[in-house]
Amino acid sequence: MKILILGGDGYLGWPTAMHFAAAGDEVWVADNFAKRKWELEDGIEPLLPIPTLHRRVQRWNGMNAGAPVRMKVGDLTNHRFVYNLLREVGPEVIVHYGEQPSAPYSMQGRTAAVMTQQNNVVGNLNLLFAMQRHCPDAHLVKLGTMGEYGTPNIDIEEGWLDVEHNGRTDRVLFPKKAGSFYHLSKVHDSHNIEFACRVWGMRATDLNQGVVYGIDTDQTMLHPELRTSFHYDHVFGTVLNRFLVQACIGVPLTVYGRGGQTRGFLNIRDTLACVDLAARNPAESGEFRIFNQFTEQFSIGRLAEMVVAAGTRAGLAVTVAHLDNPRVEAEEHYFNAKHTKLPDLGLQPTLLTDAVIDQMLATVREQVDRVDPDIIAPQIRWAGGDISAPNR
């Protein structure tokens, strides 16, 4: 396959690029390094320094561990860049991760919310138009989020819902109740992609992904310079990654509110497996396909218990703090999201066993000296935040 990965410098984008290259596919990556700039705005660094994309590509290409990775630098909100990119590469599959990925970042205030939606929605629209022009038969594999659905008091289907209303029936996109301006940007993307499939006959798979955790993949472990970014800060760190770091440095786990919030979770290795399955089993022409991409669900309180237990096994005394929730979200709610389509294609999940969590804790523990304790406490509130900060 000739595959183009947008956001190829990111937590998921870089391991995905190496995954396909290791399988012998022809891989191109593109990025504008905006994420590195957003980190700088909030004074945030990943746990371990991440070499430049140029350096990582050079390292990978020198290892003979698979096909080479080729790279382009540019901004998806610049339509000329996107058109030229697709014309030059001519991809069969486009994996689109190239978006602002953080809910807290988007909730800092007007500037960050507008930037998030402009970056994500305009970049995605430029991509759709460029695909229509230069590779209308290519398959778009777009990273969406389970957060598009929110936490409705009914079962969550995989994207589509059959409804009966006043004696008539129709198939509609599942109603969305997103929890942040970031999550809403993905809702808007989904609608734009569905329209492009319906009207232009494009083919697309929206991967409504849950919360990802994990540090290593088979390829990141080949060399220290091939590692991917691991965030534990209050802006870009996802909850389990944060809890593991907190356990290692001996601060209480930051459970927001009562901790009954339930989400779908998956290991970073399964992100790669799911994207691989989606790419190798493309949607039909005109089909807008949605997969709910997670492998198991946990409440935040349950996750905290699992990290406390892992800490005990490792000889760490881990405690839990219930902080005032900086977010506006349901803390006790119904959550039953279908997720059968990826297993039907053959997904063999990597579940959050004691062994997996112990291994992650041990890996983080080796880097404990690098942790910056000042970037852990939540500083962005969903309602009534400080409006004097530079990015608000």
Q: Which residues bind ligand USQ (CB under 6 A)?
A: 101-103, 145-147, 209-211, 238-239, 242, 254-256, 261, 263-264, 300, 327, 329
- Active-site residue among 182, 213, 232, 256? 182
The answer to whether the beta carbons of residues 65 and 96 sit under 8 Å apart is no
Q: Which is nearer to ligand USQ, 70 or 258 (CB)?
A: 258
Residue with tokens 């398959």: 139
Q: Nearest distance from residue 172's CB to ligand USQ, in Å?
A: 21
Q: Nearest distance from residue 325's CB to ligand USQ, in Å?
A: 6
Specify whether 145 is catalytic: yes
Specify whether 177 is catalytic: no
Q: Nearest distance from residue 2's CB to ligand USQ, in Å?
A: 27
Q: Nearest distance from residue 294's CB to ligand USQ, in Å?
A: 7
Q: Nearest distance from residue 240's CB to ligand USQ, in Å?
A: 7
Q: Which is nearer to ligand USQ, 28 or 265 (CB)?
A: 265
Query: How do the residues of the chain divide into helix, strand and coil, expressed in percent and rounded to 5?
Result: 40, 20, 40
Q: Which is nearer to ligand USQ, 285 or 319 (CB)?
A: 319
* Residue least distant from ligand USQ (Cβ): 147
Residue 128 CA to residue 45 CA, distance in Å, equals: 32
The answer to whether the beta carbons of residues 79 and 131 sit under 8 Å apart is no
Q: Which is nearer to ligand USQ, 134 or 186 (CB)?
A: 186
Q: Phi and psi (nearest 5°) for 16?
A: -65, -40
Q: Which is nearer to ligand USQ, 57 or 255 (CB)?
A: 255
Q: Phi and psi (nearest 5°) for 338?
A: -65, 145
Kindly state the greatest CA–CA separation across the chain. Answer: 64
Question: What single-letter DSSP state applies at residue 156?
Answer: B
Specify whether 334 is catalytic: no
Q: Nearest distance from residue 170's CB to ligand USQ, in Å?
A: 26
Q: Which is nearer to ligand USQ, 84 or 297 (CB)?
A: 297
Q: Nearest distance from residue 132's CB to ligand USQ, in Å?
A: 26
Q: Phi and psi (nearest 5°) for 334?
A: -75, 140
Q: Which is nearer to ligand USQ, 2 or 177 (CB)?
A: 177
- Active-site residue among 16, 77, 116, 145? 145
Q: Which residues are registered as beta bridge partners of 322? A: 255
Which of 303, 278, 33, 298 has the alpha carbon at shortest distance from 144?
A: 278
Residue 158 CA to residue 339 CA, distance in Å, equals: 7
Count Cα neighbours of 333 within 13 Å in the Cβ-side half-sphere.
Answer: 19
Measured CA distances, 230 to 50, 125, 212, 349, 367 (Å): 9, 29, 11, 21, 11
Residue with tokens 């080949």: 222
**Residue 370 C-alpha from the chain's centroid:** 24
The answer to whether the beta carbons of residues 106 and 113 sit under 8 Å apart is yes
- Active-site residue among 11, 186, 220, 228? 186
**Torsional sign, CA 123, 127, 293, 289:** positive
Residues forming the active site? 145, 182, 186
